[in-house]
């Protein structure tokens, strides 16, 4: 049988370890820089890598352009979530949120601007932070994670203003409803809760697993992903990917996807979702599968759309997950290339 044997380079201990690390790397989060030219990706070893999208997308892109411009150890634990303000990159994972200045981040030996830890009930073990959400109107940051609470932090003062309790198990994801303003959170307990930020109270609760159409008990009840578009919300995870009408709290469309979805987002008139399985699924609002675009990782955990107005040439969709690679889609229909750690 004709099989191309890969080059077996004499591997010392360090090289073997590096190879094993890369094989077992998972990229949990991505974030685009405010100028739109750089992409930050955080992995399960606590490292953050900054890729130059403009270099990788330019016509003279070489192999090195697909490697990170700089990689640094940001956290001790995995970096589960990252967001960007117009000057800072905020990353969170092991119970702390750290801020990095985008202007400085490309220099070696970059230090975080500040780090904050929300007040936890127990000091024995530090719960992880799974999701970060920026609320631009209040200039605050919402953190949610293993301690089942949503903490709000004021970005100017750094003080933690609110702690919203209600979930009985840890929180996977957050979404912001612009108009109200309301925050949606989905968690391991299978419920999507809506919080009113002004009153700091729970406004609405949707227990997805209790709805027969979408629940899939063999997968569990956890809500892995949330996205909202004012009146509509799409959520998925253990239960099937479903589009809900928020005011009536009814599921309107169920997307026939077997594998649990880990990330979902609205894009123009499509819903893009990704999860177990290597494809990004393009759904129409009616529930039909428009396209399935294969990526390079066996499972995807995060999607990022670079819609920064400052860099229209870098308008790409990037997807990352259970591998050390970040797939770049210049046209949503096919994978252009992959950046790799």
Partner 1 sequence: MSSESSKKRKPKVIRSDGAPAEGKRNRSDMEQEGKYYSEEAEVDLRDPGRDYELYKYTCQELQRLMAEIQDLKSRGGKDVAIEIEERRIQSCVHFMTLKKLNRLAHIRLKKGRDQTHEAKQKVDAYHLQLQNLLYEVMHLQKEITKCLEFKSKHEEIDLVSLEEFYKEAPADISKAEVTMGDPHQQTLARLDWELEQRKRLAEKYRDSLSNKEKILKEIEVKKEYLSSLQPRLNSIMQASLPVQEYLFMPFDQAHKQYETARHLPPPLYVLFVQATAYGQACAHMKSSQPPRQDKTLSVAIEGSVDEAKALFKPPDDSQDDESDSDAEEEQTTKRRRPTLGVQLDDKRKEMLKRHPLSVMVDLKCKDDSVLHLTFYYLMNLNILTVKAKVTTATELITPISAGDLLSPDSVLSCLYPGDHGKKTPNPANQYQFDKVGILTLRDYVLDLGHPYLWVQKLGGLHFPKEQPQHTVIADHSLSASHMETTMKLLKTRVQSRLALHKQFASLEHGIVPVTSDCQYLFPAKVVSRLVKWVTIAHEDYVELHFTKDIVEAGLAGDTNLYYMALIERGTAKLQAAVVLNPGYSSIPPVFQLCLNWKGEKTNSNDDNIRAMESEVNVCYKELCGPRPSHQLLTNQLQRLCVLLDVYLETESHDDTVEGPKEFPQEKMCLRLFR
Question: Does 46 interact with partner 1 (rule: CB under 8 A)?
Answer: no
Closest distance of CB 23 from partner 1, Å: 6
Question: Total residues contacting partner 1 (rule CB under 8 A)?
Answer: 39
Question: Does 11 interact with partner 1 (rule: CB under 8 A)?
Answer: yes
The smaller minimum CB distance to partner 1, of residues 17 and 114, is found at 17
Contact residue for partner 1 among 98, 167, 262, 335 (CB under 8 A): 262
- The rounded distance, in Å, linking the Cα atoms of 125 and 67 is 35
Contact residue for partner 1 among 36, 95, 224, 236 (CB under 8 A): 224
Considering only 54-62, 113-121, 147-155, 212-220, which stretch makes contact with partner 1 by CB under 8 A?
Answer: 212-220
CA distances from 236 to 10, 188, 216, 217, 255 (A): 45, 12, 11, 13, 9
The smaller minimum CB distance to partner 1, of residues 44 and 252, is found at 44
H or E element: which one contains 22? Answer: helix 13-23
Nearest to 98 by CA among 120, 85, 123, 117: 117
For residue 12, what are its two tokens? 């010392």
Considering only 14-22, 96-104, 241-249, 330-338, which stretch makes contact with partner 1 by CB under 8 A?
Answer: 14-22
Question: Does 330 interact with partner 1 (rule: CB under 8 A)?
Answer: no
Considering only 23-31, 114-122, 250-258, 333-341, which stretch makes contact with partner 1 by CB under 8 A?
Answer: 23-31
Question: Does 30 interact with partner 1 (rule: CB under 8 A)?
Answer: no
Binding mask 91-130 for partner 1 (x = CB under 8 A): ----------------------------------x--x-x
The residues, any chain, with a CB within 8 Å of residue 109's CB and separated by 6 or more, are: 72
- The rounded distance, in Å, linking the Cα atoms of 299 and 108 is 31
DSSP label of 146 = T
Binding mask 291-320 for partner 1 (x = CB under 8 A): -------xx-x-------------------
Q: What is the DSSP string of 73-112?
A: E--SS---EEEE-SSEEEEE-SS-EEEEETTTTTSTT---
The smaller minimum CB distance to partner 1, of residues 162 and 216, is found at 216
Task: Determine the number of helices (DSSP H) and then strands (DSSP E) in the chain.
Answer: 2, 28
């Amino acid at each position: 049988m004709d099989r191309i044997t890969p080059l077996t380079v004499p591997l010392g201990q360090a090289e073997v370890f590096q190879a094993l690390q890369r094989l077992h790397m998972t990229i949990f989060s991505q974030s685009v820089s405010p100028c739109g030219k750089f992409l930050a990706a955080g992995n399960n070893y606590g490292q953050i890598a900054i890729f130059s999208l403009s270099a990788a997308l330019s016509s003279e892109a070489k192999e090195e352009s697909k490697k990170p411009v700089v990689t640094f150890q940001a956290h001790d634990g995995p970096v589960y979530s990252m967001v960007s303000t117009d000057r800072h990159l905020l990353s969170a994972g092991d119970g702390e949120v750290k801020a990095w200045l985008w202007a400085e981040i490309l220099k070696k030996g970059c230090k975080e601007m500040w780090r904050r830890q929300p007040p936890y009930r127990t000091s024995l073990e530090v719960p992880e932070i799974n999701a970060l959400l920026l609320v631009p109107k209040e200039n605050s940051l919402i953190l949610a994670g293993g301690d089942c609470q949503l903490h709000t932090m004021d970005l100017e003062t750094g003080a933690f203003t609110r702690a919203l309790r209600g979930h009985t198990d840890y929180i996977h994801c957050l979404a912001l409803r612009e108009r109200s303003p309301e925050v949606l959170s989905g968690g391991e307990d299978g419920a999507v809760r809506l919080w009113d930020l002004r009153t700091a109270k729970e406004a609405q609760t949707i227990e997805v697993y209790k709805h027969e159409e979408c629940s899939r008990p063999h997968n569990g009840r956890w809500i892995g992903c949330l996205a909202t578009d004012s009146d509509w919300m799409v959520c998925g995870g253990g239960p099937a990917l479903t589009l809900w009408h928020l005011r009536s709290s009814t599921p309107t469309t169920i997307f026939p996807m077997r594998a649990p979805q880990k990330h979902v987002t609205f894009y123009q008139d499509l819903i893009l979702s990704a999860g177990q399985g290597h494809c990004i699924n393009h759904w129409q609002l009616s529930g039909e599968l428009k396209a399935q675009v294969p990526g390079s990782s066996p499972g995807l955990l995060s999607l990022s759309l670079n819609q920064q107005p400052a860099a229209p040439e870098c308008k790409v969709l990037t997807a990352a997950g259970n591998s050390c690679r970040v797939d770049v889609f210049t046209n949503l229909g096919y994978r252009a290339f992959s950046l790799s750690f």
